[in-house]
Chains A and B, each alone.
Chain A
């Protein structure tokens, strides 16, 4: 106890010396606080990015493997198609089996099936275009090869051109019907079921935007969202019901309530050569609806597209291996979005790395400066050490007293330095964060709009915010937080240890007799 008291008296009565040490530690501490705060902010931004772009793994066809296999076996085109069709599709059971992994934080999937509609006209411009094209070709052919019309009706209506043309049109209609029949046999509408909002990438990415109504948060019942084109073509409004029919059996029907109408925003949609967007006949619903359809209709041709959200990017290889060990067909492969995530955080990580380098340099310089100051301090206090040792104070206790003194000065200087560093780092970090926050906010608002409804005031739909959780990025005022203070404290203790160890070594090497002789 007297050691503490003695240390305290020594600090108070040797102000000049301790203020000098304090200033040095304060400068080191302020520099460390700034760099730590920048690192912390960078971590928050990276974490926000990683939440926004989690590591996702998808399963798709390994076309390279497939082509290689066909090439090696000199497979004919027919055999290729046959082999291709023989590849076992991924089932929901497979998706769930792969998803049951320690590396996976979440997984979702889309489940699609093709159906026809009852009293529902498909939105298609390919048939119209084909018909038009055929008519043009017919006219050309008549003019070129047909007999020139002579007299009668033919004078007013040139030759037999009209009748010939009618014949050709018939052929065209037959072609159109064939195409229509062929399409109808497969199902003209694609019903895509999602198992959560997370799975609805087209809405998240802004490809689709709800223009009326909303995507229903109920992922169980028979609700659906249809395209603007389909709604206009069939005069369907939000709240109306549509009936879909199995392509293989017209008696199997499914009734869905329309809760929203979306439009497609992709470039493809704005392509003026097409009247309808590529998604015009895409009806969006939940997985449960598709599951029920597949259960009712054995012939339904359903496909599953899973996406696995990994806990960490370090788990990618392990997860791939695990899925392969769970007997994933060799013609399937796993793809991930690591490159996208890395690209998005690259600049921030560079800032963080720069801050880390700066921190290390500051710490090295700080430690060296502190070491020199401590040594000078010890030399200056040699006499004191000599007296204390002469009157019987143990070396360890003398070292302890010096350590307490340094620690006390260090803590006070650290706190002041952290305050100064904190104040100056707020500006730096804020400018780093501000643009990111703005981007994240606008992204969130855009996503909310894509899903339709008033999400901002609808607690029921709060889960939609999870898609881009920018809560942590919002708290920019907490730049020098407890975590940073904790790190600073550790740095302070580390620096004190460096100083104290050097002091202890010096003290242990001093002979009190020599010190006192020197003094004399």
Chain B
């Protein structure tokens, strides 16, 4: 996939509104959000509980498809894109609870993502080790089942997994929510590098002011009122 220029938006939201299936007609979680996300930048989506931060992230990541308005990924309407392919190629998702497959090792979790993507890497094992190294894990970590890793280590594995197939955009939902301050800083450092050195668009949903301080732009959700 060709890299986009830094200034061109990679993701655009146009009048995006969302309400739950069983909600009243005008009871929107958020309404008419329009915003653009560019590569090479790190974004934070902030807001109170229930403001729809995670929901918006679900919309962006293609996990939720019933919304009003339009979301464009590289000028392609997300509602017309194959979302499985979108999720296994164009975006990498990192969750607060890591969402790794617990019966697999760190290495196998990453390999599985690469296999789902259909990557034809010659030496996959070596590549995975390099990837883990880039997020601060060793070969020893790679061989362990994920449940035998600490929370921080698991989150690093989740980040490595999301990077394994070279996506253009990283979406992270409270990635440091379960981690201590030091580890949070380490993780944010990785994200920062991904955005600024590797020209990726990183979108982070967070409550943490510490995280918000380290991003390029903050997008605050204010319930049903219009956002930025």
The chain A residues found within 8 Å of chain B, CB to CB, are 2, 6, 9-10, 13-14, 384, 386-394, 397, 511-513, 516, 519-520
Interface residues of B in 100-121 (CB under 8 A from A): 100-101, 103-104, 108, 112-113, 115-117
Contact B113 A391 (CB under 8 A): yes
B185–chain A nearest beta-carbon distance, Å: 24
A392 with B103: in contact, given A513-B63, A520-B96 (CB under 8 Å)? no
Point out which of A6, A392, A512, A519 has the most chain B C-beta atoms below 10 A from its C-beta. A392
13 chain-A/chain-B pairs, Cβ below 8 angstroms: A6-B112, A14-B103, A384-B101, A386-B99, A390-B87, A390-B99, A391-B87, A392-B87, A392-B117, A394-B84, A513-B64, A516-B63, A520-B97
Contact B103 A519 (CB under 8 A): no
User: Considering only CB atoms, which chain B residue lies closest to A516 in the complex?
Assistant: B99
A391 with B63: in contact, given A9-B108, A14-B103 (CB under 8 Å)? no
- B88 part of interface (Cβ distance < 8 Å): yes
Complex interface: chain A residues within 8 A of B103 (CB)? 9-10, 13-14, 384
B203–chain A nearest beta-carbon distance, Å: 16
Expressed in whole angstroms, the Cα–Cα distance for A393 and B161 within the complex equals 14
Expressed in whole angstroms, the Cα–Cα distance for A13 and B64 within the complex equals 32
B205–chain A nearest beta-carbon distance, Å: 13
User: Considering only CB atoms, which chain B residue lies closest to A3 in the complex?
Assistant: B115
- B85 part of interface (Cβ distance < 8 Å): yes
User: Considering only CB atoms, which chain A residue lies closest to B82 in the complex?
Assistant: A394
Contact B112 A392 (CB under 8 A): no
Expressed in whole angstroms, the Cα–Cα distance for A393 and B99 within the complex equals 14
Contact A512 B63 (CB under 8 A): yes
Complex interface: chain B residues within 8 A of A387 (CB)? 99-101
B161–chain A nearest beta-carbon distance, Å: 7
- B89 part of interface (Cβ distance < 8 Å): yes
Expressed in whole angstroms, the Cα–Cα distance for A10 and B135 within the complex equals 27
Complex interface: chain B residues within 8 A of A520 (CB)? 96-97
Expressed in whole angstroms, the Cα–Cα distance for A13 and B102 within the complex equals 10
The chain B residues found within 8 Å of chain A, CB to CB, are 58, 61, 63-64, 84-89, 93, 95-97, 99-101, 103-104, 108, 112-113, 115-117, 161
A391 with B96: in contact, given A6-B112, A9-B104 (CB under 8 Å)? no
Q: Which of A14, A384, A393, A511 touches B88 (beta carbons < 8 Å)?
A: A393
Contact B63 A519 (CB under 8 A): no
Contact A393 B84 (CB under 8 A): yes
Complex interface: chain A residues within 8 A of B101 (CB)? 384, 387-388
Expressed in whole angstroms, the Cα–Cα distance for A339 and B113 within the complex equals 70
Contact B115 A391 (CB under 8 A): no
Contact A392 B89 (CB under 8 A): yes
User: Considering only CB atoms, which chain B residue lies closest to A394 in the complex?
Assistant: B84
Contact A390 B63 (CB under 8 A): yes
Q: A2-B115, A390-B61, A390-B87 are in contact. List 20 more A-B contacts (CB 8 A).
A: A2-B116, A6-B112, A13-B103, A14-B103, A386-B99, A387-B100, A387-B101, A391-B112, A391-B161, A392-B84, A392-B87, A392-B113, A392-B116, A393-B84, A393-B88, A393-B116, A397-B116, A513-B63, A519-B99, A520-B97
Contact B95 A516 (CB under 8 A): yes
Contact B97 A391 (CB under 8 A): no
Complex interface: chain A residues within 8 A of B86 (CB)? 392
Complex interface: chain B residues within 8 A of A13 (CB)? 103-104
Expressed in whole angstroms, the Cα–Cα distance for A384 and B116 within the complex equals 14
The 10 closest A-B pairs by CB, nearest first: A392-B88, A392-B87, A2-B115, A13-B103, A513-B63, A394-B84, A387-B99, A393-B116, A392-B84, A391-B113
Contact B64 A2 (CB under 8 A): no
User: Considering only CB atoms, which chain B residue lies closest to A519 in the complex?
Assistant: B97
Complex interface: chain B residues within 8 A of A394 (CB)? 84
B11–chain A nearest beta-carbon distance, Å: 17
Expressed in whole angstroms, the Cα–Cα distance for A85 and B88 within the complex equals 96
A392 with B85: in contact, given A13-B103, A387-B99 (CB under 8 Å)? yes
Complex interface: chain B residues within 8 A of A9 (CB)? 103-104, 108
User: Considering only CB atoms, which chain B residue lies closest to A13 in the complex?
Assistant: B103
B38–chain A nearest beta-carbon distance, Å: 24
Complex interface: chain A residues within 8 A of B85 (CB)? 392
User: Considering only CB atoms, which chain A residue lies closest to B89 in the complex?
Assistant: A392
Complex interface: chain A residues within 8 A of B89 (CB)? 392
Expressed in whole angstroms, the Cα–Cα distance for A2 and B112 within the complex equals 8
User: Considering only CB atoms, which chain A residue lies closest to B61 in the complex?
Assistant: A390
Complex interface: chain A residues within 8 A of B64 (CB)? 513
Complex interface: chain A residues within 8 A of B112 (CB)? 2, 6, 391
Complex interface: chain B residues within 8 A of A393 (CB)? 84, 88, 116
A408–chain B nearest beta-carbon distance, Å: 16
Contact A391 B95 (CB under 8 A): no
B60–chain A nearest beta-carbon distance, Å: 12
Expressed in whole angstroms, the Cα–Cα distance for A13 and B146 within the complex equals 13
Complex interface: chain B residues within 8 A of A6 (CB)? 112, 115
Complex interface: chain A residues within 8 A of B87 (CB)? 390-392
A387–chain B nearest beta-carbon distance, Å: 5
Expressed in whole angstroms, the Cα–Cα distance for A362 and B112 within the complex equals 39
Expressed in whole angstroms, the Cα–Cα distance for A386 and B85 within the complex equals 16
A502–chain B nearest beta-carbon distance, Å: 22
Complex interface: chain B residues within 8 A of A390 (CB)? 61, 63, 87, 93, 99
Expressed in whole angstroms, the Cα–Cα distance for A195 and B29 within the complex equals 97
Contact A391 B93 (CB under 8 A): yes
A487–chain B nearest beta-carbon distance, Å: 35
Expressed in whole angstroms, the Cα–Cα distance for A386 and B87 within the complex equals 13
User: Considering only CB atoms, which chain A residue lies closest to B88 in the complex?
Assistant: A392
B45–chain A nearest beta-carbon distance, Å: 17
Expressed in whole angstroms, the Cα–Cα distance for A104 and B223 within the complex equals 88
Complex interface: chain B residues within 8 A of A519 (CB)? 97, 99
Q: Which of B58, B84, B96 touches A513 (beta carbons < 8 Å)?
A: B58
User: Considering only CB atoms, which chain A residue lies closest to B59 in the complex?
Assistant: A513
Expressed in whole angstroms, the Cα–Cα distance for A519 and B112 within the complex equals 21
A254–chain B nearest beta-carbon distance, Å: 91
User: Considering only CB atoms, which chain B residue lies closest to A10 in the complex?
Assistant: B103
B207–chain A nearest beta-carbon distance, Å: 14
A126–chain B nearest beta-carbon distance, Å: 97
Complex interface: chain A residues within 8 A of B58 (CB)? 513
Expressed in whole angstroms, the Cα–Cα distance for A505 and B107 within the complex equals 31
Complex interface: chain A residues within 8 A of B84 (CB)? 389, 392-394
User: Considering only CB atoms, which chain B residue lies closest to A396 in the complex?
Assistant: B84
Expressed in whole angstroms, the Cα–Cα distance for A516 and B95 within the complex equals 9
Expressed in whole angstroms, the Cα–Cα distance for A9 and B102 within the complex equals 12
